[in-house]
Structure 1
Amino acid sequence: MAAKRRVSAAKDKWKLKQWYVIYAPDFFGGVEVGLTPADDPEKVLNRVVEVTLKDITGDFLKGHVKLYFQVYDVKGQNAYTKFKGMKLARSYIRSLVRRRTTRIDGIFNITTKDGYKLRVMAMVIAARRIQTSQERAIRKIMQEIIYKKAEELNFKDFVLEAVNGKIAAEIAKEAKKIYPLKKAEIRKIKVLGEPEVAA
Structure 2
Amino acid sequence: MEKDQLSRLIGYRLKKLRHNRGWSLDTLASHSGVSKPMLGQIERGESNPTVSTLWKVAKSLNVSFSAFLEEQQPSVKVIRYTEIESITDHNGSFQVFPLFSKEINKPFELYTVQLSKACKHLAEAHPSGVEEYLLVQKGEVTIELSEEVYKLEKGDGIHFLADQQHAYVNHNKTEDCILTILIFYPTKHYQYE
TM > 0.5 between the two?
A: no
Q: Which has the higher contact order (CA 8 A, sep 6+)?
A: 2
Task: Work out which of the two has the higher radius of gyration on C-alpha atoms and give 1 or 2.
Answer: 1
Q: TM-score, normalised by structure 1?
A: 0.31
- Which structure's residues are more often helix, by fraction? 1
